[in-house]
Each structure stands twice: as C-alpha cells, then as structure tokens.
Amino acid sequence: METQRVTEYPTPRQSAARPTGGGARTAAPAPERTAGRADAAHAALPDPRDEPGASDLAAAAPRDAPAPPEVPAPAAGCRPHTGHARPAGGDEPAGRSRPAAPEPADRDAGPVAAGHPGAEEPDERAERERRGGDRLRFVGAATRRIARGVDLDETVLGLCRASVPAFSDAILVYLRDPLPVGDERPTGPFLLRLRRTDRLPDYAAPAPADADPSDTGEFPLPLLAPQPEGVASGTPELIEVRGGGPLAEVLRGVRPVFGDAPTVREALPELLGPAREIPAGRRAILAPLRGRRRVIGAAVFLRRPDRAAFEGDDLLVAAQLATHTALGVDKAVLYGREAYIADELQRTMLPDELPQPTGVTLASRYLPAAETARVGGDWYDAIPLPGGRVALVVGDVMGHSMTSAAIMGQLRTTAQTLAGLDLPPQEVLHHLDEQAQRLGSDRMATCLYAVYDPVAHRIVVANAGHPPPVMLHRDGHAEVLRIPAGAPIGVGGVDFEAVELDAPAGATLLLYTDGLVESRHRDVWTGIEQLREKLTDTAGLTRPDTPPPLEPLCDEVLDILGPGDRDDDIALLAARFDGIPPSDVAYWYLDPRAQTARQARRLARRALERWDLTDLTDSVELLVSEVVTNAVRYAERPITLRLLRTDVLRCEVGDDVPQLPRLRQARATDEGGRGLYLVNRLARRWGATRLSTGKVVWFELPMP
C-alpha cells in the first residue's frame, strides 16, 4: 500500500509520545520548551524527506541479517492478530472478509475485545506501514551518507551522524587495532579501540511526565556522561577481546543482537566498562562490523529509558548500518594503504635533499596535481660532476598514474648513470630516448638537461620537447633562453642539439615542467610570459644588483598559479650561479715524463703560498706526487692538474686512460699499490670519475 504521507524516522521526542502497545492511543504532550530544544538538536541532521526514495530494505539487507520476529499464522481467511483493540463500527477495507463472530446484543456498545483474531484498526495498519516506509527512507539516507566518506574518520563520522538521534540516542564505534588491510592475516591479540562516540545532547532529552514545567534544568543523558568529543567517560579506549568470552561469541555471530540477550548482557560491560549504566530492556543493540574477510569492529546503539525500545525491524536497520560502515572502513583502509604506497614511491623517486656543489646554490619545489592523486611523472635532479660542475635535470613523463611514476623512476636512474659517465647533454638525451623506446612504444617524456661549469661561468643545455628555461640576471632582467625545442623522448630517430650559453655570477636559472605555465585557462607561451614578468617584478623588490633570496623566489613563482590552474604536476628547480673566481683556480697541462711528478709538486707549492695555505703544503705535495705518478705511468697525452680553493682545497688530475684506479691492500713484496692507500688515509674525500676522454682522480683536504 502506498501512502502519500512522508515523515521522518521516529525521533526521540516522537517515540516518547507514541504508545507501544494496544488499547487507546493517547499521549500526553511534552512541555513546549522541551519540544523546541529537541527540534533544535535534530535540525543539524539530514531529513530523509530530502533524499531520493530508498531501495527496498529486504533487498538491501545482508543474507545473514536476522529476520523480524515471526507471528503465528492465522487461520484461513483471518488476518494476523496484532494485539491492538479495534473500535466497534470500524469499516473493513473493501475486498477483504473475516470470519463471522457472535454479535453482541448491542453492536455499537463498545470496542471489540482485545486479542480478537480480526482486531486490527485501519489507523493501526496505516501507522505500521508508515513506520516501515520511514525505516526504508532512513536506511537509504543513512547508507548514502556513510558511503560518502573517503577516509576512515569520515566513514565513522557518517555512521554517528546518521544514527543519532534519528535511530538511537547514543552510539559507540569500535574498530580493530591495528586494522587489517586486504587479505592480511592479523597477528597478535584481538584488540578493539574506541574510535568515536556520539550522543544526543542533554538539553534535547524529553522531560519526564512529572517534571515541573517551570523547571528550566537540563535532563542528563545517563548513557554517556558529559565528555570531550570522541572520548566516553568511564569507557575503556582499548579492549582486548578474550577468546571464548561473551564479546568474542557475539562478534563471531556477525548479526546484530538486542542488549537484553543473555550473552550481550555479559558482553556489553567489556565494551562500555563495568560502571556504565545501561537501560534495561531492548534499548541497546550490539552490531558487529564485518568487512570483506573478518570482523573489524563493533557498534553499540543505545536509547534512553524514556524512549521507546528497539523493535524487531530495528535489527535489520542496525544490520544495514553495520554492513555499509564495515565496507566503508575496508575501502578507507585500502585507499589509505594505496595513498601511502604512492607517497612513498613518489618520495623515493625524488631527491630527499639537493646537493650543494661548489659555485651554485639550488632550491626546488614539487606540487602534485591533487591530494587524491599524488603520483605523477614529473621529476627534477641535480647531479655533481667532476671539476666542480653540476648537471641540472627536469623531466615530465606523460600521464598521472603509478605507471608514469615507475617510468619516471627508470628514466631518472638512467640519467644519473649517464651523467656519471660525463657525457655531453645531447648524448644523454639520445640514450634516454633509446631507453624510453625499450620501455614501450607509448612511453613519451620531455626532458631538459643542462651542465653548469662554475670555473668557466658557462652552461651547456640540450632540450627534448620541454618548455625553455628562464634566466633572471643580476640586474633584475628576466629572459627566456633560446634553445632548440627538439622532439620528446621516446619518438626515436631524432638528433638533439646542445647550446652553450653564458652563466654570469649572480644569475638565476629556473627549470620547470609545463604544469607551472600551462592550464585550461592559458596556453604554454602565455604562461611563460607571465613567469618572466613575475621574476622581473620579484627582482624589483630587492636592491639593485642584489638577487632575491632563492627559497622565497620559488614561493613567489608558484603564486602565478590561479585557483583553477592546478591541472598538472609541477616540478621546479632553481639554480643561483655563484661561480668560482679565477683567482681561486690554478690549472696546468703537464707532459707525461719522468720529471712530471717533481714539476707538479713545485707548482702546487707555489699555488698554496699564493693562497696563504702553507700549512697544507706537505700533505698536498705527497698526495699530488702519488696521483700524478700513477697518471704519468700509463698516459700517452698531456695530463691536467687543477687546484680549486673554495670551502675545501680540491685537487684534480686528469689523463686519457679510462681504467679507474682501485684501492687494494699491497703485500710486503709489492713495489706499488700504496699510493691510493696514502690518499685514502690523508684526504677527507677522494674518488675517480670516468670521462669520455679518459678519467679524473680527485681528492679534497679541509681548510686549516
């Protein structure tokens, strides 16, 4: 039967005024002040009348949900007995019949006796159907509210807000600690942690029938005393579920159970604490929360003694709420694990911190496209090279997924390996292009690779389909560098071209991905022009010939993004060129002869005297003699010797032999093999790097 009247699921105020048994339907009206307070408490809850029609409760209920209490089958031709009295003279609906009954002397003398087989008043039947429709609408609205939660807290909050006060006066939600993820098998004891509580405020409680209307005091809620939000006073926050105990037995049963059941009466004190006052009768429901694999928690629904007790159909409602909450918790846990893995993957594929090589200062920023999709293919890197140089890399793999991030990680690793070989920038891009083709036919990426030399104050740049860099000069003028765009990595069969440009001291180079300058509201070149203007304006805020601080400059650059401009990931790498003054550099070419070691010691001693570093003379002469001797022994072309004075003293010896030296323990009968041992003992750091023309062996000594 379809009724046109649409009402809410019974609230505490309505339930207190509605009789639960048969007989005359009379109710004393609640005081006016109490009704107004209850309405104010309910105003914040969603009205089921505003929600679309809910699906059928029977179809939505789980298979193992308990059925409503069975009613004895009536005799043929009789309607079920409801226990309610039917006034005399009530009309029977058309099309229905009931067995004849002995007629009293006066048919209008009074109501039919309670318990008569056909005693069901049309108003009572309409009331039952209305309440059933209210339950359907409530379940539909509540499950939609629970399903809207993305993370764990939102899901649990949705259950609490949907249940109180429309279904219960108070609720406590417990979740397993720790929560299992997917098919993981929990280890350790079965622990439940109180995740959240919610209750009807004290001022919304209906007044007792004998209360003084002039009394303005509040009627406290005995179930949960006043408490901070999320903490139940007197209720333990962590409960260990003992195997074979009452609580374990109830949770194993999966189905919601009334609080007056013998097992539940023993289980509730484990959850609520032994001192918790629990109303007698069917005013508590314990509903296990079962996920896809196992029980992951429990929910306790409570009603005041002055409110109507739970009915049999309310177990179906509790089962629906528990089922949807458990599935939402499972979804939130899986989503949280995936987000954690994505964050870790992205973090490990980007540098934890940038190196600070000599002659250049670096800063970076990385912004994902959205908090819900924190993985992407954008990356940046700074790789120290021999001779005090540094390679600056920015790239962008097409797409926003775990696959794009994985490809990005492989390309970044390849770029680091190629940089260690000291290949020219165009050769690095060529090998990256070959690597992308080996990864797949649709693995496309853009990349810009630059090498800065602080001694020569020059920079060599090669581009593979990437937006051009912008340089901010010391005088505050910003320009877009003219570099051949080239084809993206992964196209194949394309030659890349490198350009060598000046990199004066005090200039700042910005490398970025297209997410900074391109969006649905502007094209790439419009964004690049806005970036150039932003750099010029920012430089004008400082004194003339004083470059702005690098970290605040990166933040200012990101301000060009409007509210709707975050369509793509953003990687930003800024390099401030400080350079190494020529007065701090000593450089020589030496012929590979027997006298070269003695000549190298003399030249190093003179440089140290000029720099007032005579305290390092003995150590430098010994180490230079050992390294130069090894180079002269195998070299066929002139070797190079260079000393750099920065925060440390760095010595570099280069030759045309590609084999790298190896540290080994010399035997007592060996004539050689002790040179690198001395270098390893006396130098703060040392190393050897293979170049395209040979190798460089270097060591560093701390300043006195």
Is residue 443 a contact partner of residue 377, using CB atoms and an 8 Å limit? Answer: no
pLDDT tens per residue, range 422-454 = 889 999 999 999 999 888 777 899 999 999 999
> Which residue did the predictor score with more confidence, 615 or 22?
615
pLDDT band at 33; cut points 50, 70, 90 = very low
The two structure tokens encoding residue 496? 């890349």
The two structure tokens encoding residue 667? 């035997």
Compute the chain's Rg from CA coordinates: 40
What does the pLDDT average to over 325-336? 85
pLDDT band at 370; cut points 50, 70, 90 = low
Is residue 699 a contact partner of residue 680, using CB atoms and an 8 Å limit? Answer: no
Query: Does the pLDDT at position 44 exceed 80?
Result: no
Q: Where are the beta strands (DSSP E) in 65-212?
A: 170-176, 191-199
Least confidently predicted of 157-161, 336-340, 505-509, 665-669: 665-669
In one-letter notation, the amino acid at residue 642 is R
d(CA 86, CA 101): 14
> Which residue did the predictor score with more confidence, 181 or 260?
260
Q: Where are the beta strands (DSSP E) in 19-161?
A: none
pLDDT tens per residue, range 251-288 = 888 789 898 888 888 888 877 777 666 667 788 899 99
pLDDT tens per residue, range 73-97 = 444 433 444 434 444 444 444 434 4
pLDDT band at 9; cut points 50, 70, 90 = low
What does the pLDDT average to over 644-648? 88
What average pLDDT does the structure give for the chain?
77
Q: What was the pLDDT predicted at 433? A: 93
Query: Does the pLDDT at position 6 exceed 50?
Result: no
Specify the residue for token string 């609205």: 141
What does the pLDDT average to over 107-128? 57
Question: Percentage of the chain surpassing pLDDT 90?
Answer: 31
What does the pLDDT average to over 113-139? 72
pLDDT tens per residue, range 543-601 = 777 888 999 999 999 888 766 666 778 899 999 999 999 999 999 999 999 899 999 99
Q: What was the pLDDT predicted at 69? A: 43
The two structure tokens encoding residue 160? 């609490």
Query: Does the pLDDT at position 3 exceed 90?
Result: no
Is residue 300 a contact partner of residue 310, using CB atoms and an 8 Å limit? Answer: no
Query: Does the pLDDT at position 222 exceed 50?
Result: no
Least confidently predicted of 119-123, 289-293, 523-527, 624-628: 119-123
d(CA 621, CA 607): 11
Helix (H), strand (E) at residue 367: strand 360-367
Using CA atoms, how far residue 149 sits from 102, 324, 374, 544, in Å, is 61, 11, 19, 54
Q: What was the pLDDT predicted at 454? A: 93
Q: What was the pLDDT predicted at 235? A: 61
Share of the chain residues as helix, strand and coil, in percent rounded to the nearest 5: 35, 20, 45
Helix (H), strand (E) at residue 419: helix 402-420
Q: What was the pLDDT predicted at 295? A: 84
d(CA 10, CA 8): 6
d(CA 28, CA 209): 8
Q: What was the pLDDT predicted at 371? A: 55
Query: Does the pLDDT at position 21 exceed 50?
Result: no
Query: Does the pLDDT at position 57 exceed 70?
Result: no
Give the Cα-Cα-Cα angle 689, 691, 697 (nearest 5 degrees): 35
List beta partners, residue 502: 458
Query: Does the pLDDT at position 363 exceed 90?
Result: yes
Within 10 angstroms of residue 15's Cβ, the number of other Cβ atoms is: 19
Length of the chain (residues): 704
d(CA 198, CA 232): 9
Query: Does the pLDDT at position 666 exceed 80?
Result: no
Helix (H), strand (E) at residue 363: strand 360-367
Is residue 469 a contact partner of residue 450, using CB atoms and an 8 Å limit? Answer: yes
For residue 295, the number of C-alpha atoms closer than 13 Å in the C-beta half-sphere is 20
Give the Cα-Cα-Cα angle 471, 502, 577 (nearest 5 degrees): 60
What does the pLDDT average to over 150-178? 88
pLDDT band at 460; cut points 50, 70, 90 = very high
Instruction: Determine if the pTM surpasses 0.75.
Output: no
Within 10 angstroms of residue 255's Cβ, the number of other Cβ atoms is: 17
Is residue 5 a contact partner of residue 126, using CB atoms and an 8 Å limit? Answer: no
Least confidently predicted of 260-269, 353-362, 415-424, 484-493: 260-269
The two structure tokens encoding residue 230? 């999320």
Q: Where are the beta strands (DSSP E) in 458-512?
A: 458-464, 470-472, 478-480, 498-502, 508-512
Helices 312-349 and 152-163 pack at an angle, to 10 degrees, of: 160
d(CA 428, CA 692): 12
Within 10 angstroms of residue 673's Cβ, the number of other Cβ atoms is: 13
What does the pLDDT average to over 538-545? 82
Q: What was the pLDDT predicted at 399? A: 76
Q: What was the pLDDT predicted at 588? A: 95
pLDDT band at 207; cut points 50, 70, 90 = low
d(CA 557, CA 534): 7
Residue 55 three-state SS: coil
d(CA 310, CA 287): 13
Residue 346 three-state SS: helix
d(CA 11, CA 13): 5
Is residue 287 a contact partner of residue 147, using CB atoms and an 8 Å limit? Answer: no
